[in-house]
Amino acid sequence: MPSRVGIVVRTRRRPDFLRRALADVAAQTFHDYRIVVVNDGGDPDEVEAIVAASDVRDAVQVQHIADGEGGRCVAANTGVRDAGTDLVVLHDDDDRWHPEFLARTVAWLDDHAHSPAVAVSTEIVYEEQRGGTWTEVGRAPFWAGMQRISLGEMMSVNRAVPISVLYRRSVHDEVGWYDETLDAVEDWDLYLRILRTGEIGFLPGEALAFWAQRPDATGLDANSMFALTEAHAVDDARVRDRALAEWVRREGPGLPLYMASLQAELKAHVDRRFEEVSAGLRHDLRSELDAHQPFWSRVRRLRRGLRRR
């Protein structure tokens, strides 16, 4: 019988993170899975050696993508296609799970046969390099208090990350694959397409997924949140423009034109109000300085008088 869950581990020249990811999967209480490690442009021998030394080596298939031919979306699509399982999840090499992540999400989808996916509460794990290793230095909730995956909120900003979402492989037959024209936000783009016709379930409460962030990291150690900041902004606009163009083709430009006008008026109002508040604060600050530092107040007045002559 084929495995129930396909775990796609995207990795790119980060051996320490790959070892950690495989150990993280090995710690799951649910074991009916198949792992596809997608080596996106790294040394094939190094990746194969790490897999061979792991506790999950018998469950791993490695796919190698030549340097320059991959990318986040290509790696994701390659792994999902190769997994051949009913359920899939992306486990990027630097992220982690609670040991019960698979057990609880699989059980939820079994109980909700018509739901295409389920997400879980997530914590951000901040890491710094200390003594040559990446060490956890703090945590913060990702969207604290969230109780559901809302299309309206998701249209504003992504509220789920790949490590937190288990979904049915059949989703790709219905809404398409990860968009390989994007360099970032490929998960958000997929979630929006899923939410057009269905709901993504949510398990609130205890965090079951841990999204690693390293704000000070550079190069290959950086995570996409910071390393791909510009790409995120460009692709975010691309996804929104594409959706807007689809609307205009179907409904015409009337409503978007009106909304754009309102947006411009609102921005102008906010800018004016900001300037008024800033001017008031500057005046209050000068008054406070004059009251407590009369000598410097006289100096400023003398300088202004000399400039006018």
Per-residue pLDDT band at 274 (split at 50, 70, 90): confident
Pair type for strands 209-213 and 122-130? parallel
CA 152, 158, 160, 162 torsion: positive or negative? positive
Element of type H or E holding 242: helix 229-251
* Residue spans per domain, the chain: 5-249, 254-308
CATH 1.10.10.60 fits 5-249, yes or no: no
Q: Which residues lie closer than 8 Å to 250 by C-beta, 6 or more apart?
A: none
pLDDT-wise least confident of 49-53, 128-132, 177-181: 128-132
Q: For 1-46, what is each residue's pLDDT tens digit? A: 689 999 999 999 999 999 999 999 999 999 999 999 999 999 999 9
pLDDT-wise least confident of 19-33, 221-235, 279-293: 279-293
What does the pLDDT read at residue 178? 97
pTM exceeds 0.75, yes or no:
yes
Closest of 104, 91, 115 to residue 21, by C-alpha:
91
